[in-house]
Amino acid sequence: MAECGCSGPQKTFDGMSATYKRRLWLVIVINAVMFFVEMTAGQLAGSQALQADALDFLGDSLTYGISLAAIGASITVRTNAALFKAFTLLAMGLWVAGSTLWRVFYIGVPTAEIMGMIGFLALAANLASVFLLVKYKDGDANVRSVWLCSRNDAIGNVAVMIAALAVWGTATGWPDLIVAGIMAALFLSSAWQILTQALAEKRSIS
């Protein structure tokens, strides 16, 4: 069963597969392209939720790249990679939280039509990523984290589209800010979980 990178049924897939690596490269490219598309659209539409989701695409591109590089590496390398992922998510979460708080005191109504259109495009991109990775959803922690990020991102895109509909229906920017705030909280929560686990693993090998 060479394609799964395992020599027997009991071994968990660890990412050692040429097909998996090619698919992961494709997912990285999809996320990088969508970062530029969604960040530009978010600025044009005045949408914090779109810009927060764009940062999520950027973060995914970086973390997927790190996951790709860490395949087959030692536990020390994987731990340091996890710490980098945690600090990246922490920085993004703080930026989104800070900019969202600023918008609370300077509220403009974002363009709901652009939010909805780009949100749908982002959802399609994340569903494509999910399709590419679903075969490998039950791998080790490094592999599974990639799958979970893609799956959760698709859910996040649905939230952005709901925010767009709510902005259109209420003619206020509050739904956009609420979704951006929720995404900031998810960034910070993920950063904390990764940071604590990575530090615990670092202590165990020191």
Is position 98 within any domain?
Answer: yes
Among the residues of the chain, which ranges form H helices? 18-45, 48-70, 75-104, 112-133, 141-170, 174-205
Nearest residue to 15 (alpha-carbon basis) of 60, 62, 73, 63: 73
Instruction: Give CA–CA dist 51/38, Å, rounded.
Output: 7
Which pLDDT value is given to residue 72? 78
Is position 146 within any domain?
Answer: yes
Which pLDDT value is given to residue 35? 92
Lowest mean pLDDT among 64-73, 102-111, 185-194: 102-111
Which pLDDT value is given to residue 36? 92
Q: Which of 62-76, 81-95, 184-198 has the highest mean pLDDT?
A: 62-76
Q: How confident is the model at residue 6 (pLDDT cuts 50, 70, 90)?
A: very low
Q: Which of 32-46, 51-65, 148-162 has the highest mean pLDDT?
A: 32-46
**pLDDT tens digits, 138-194:** 766 677 777 777 876 777 777 777 777 877 777 777 777 787 777 778 778 777 877
pLDDT at 94 over 90: no
Which pLDDT value is given to residue 27? 94
Is position 7 within any domain?
Answer: no
Instruction: Give CA–CA dist 181/186, Å, rounded.
Output: 9
Q: Are 63 and 87 within 8 A, CB to CB? A: no
CATH number, position 20: 1.20.1510
Is position 2 within any domain?
Answer: no
**Domain coverage including residue 74:** 15-205
Q: Which of 54-63, 97-106, 150-159 has the highest mean pLDDT?
A: 54-63
Is position 9 within any domain?
Answer: no
Is position 3 within any domain?
Answer: no
Q: Are 54 and 42 within 8 A, CB to CB? A: yes
Which pLDDT value is given to residue 104? 53
Angle at 161 between CA 157 and CA 163, to 5 degrees: 110
Overall average pLDDT of the 14-41 stretch = 90
Instruction: Give CA–CA dist 184/52, Å, rounded.
Output: 7
Is position 10 within any domain?
Answer: no
Is position 4 within any domain?
Answer: no
**Amino acid identity, position 24:** L
Please state the domain count of the chain. 1
Q: How confident is the model at residue 24 (pLDDT cuts 50, 70, 90)?
A: very high
And the tokens for 139?
A: 């791998």
Mean of all residue pLDDT scores within the chain: 77
Q: Which of 15-29, 60-74, 84-98, 136-150 has the highest mean pLDDT?
A: 15-29
Nearest residue to 59 (alpha-carbon basis) of 140, 156, 159: 156
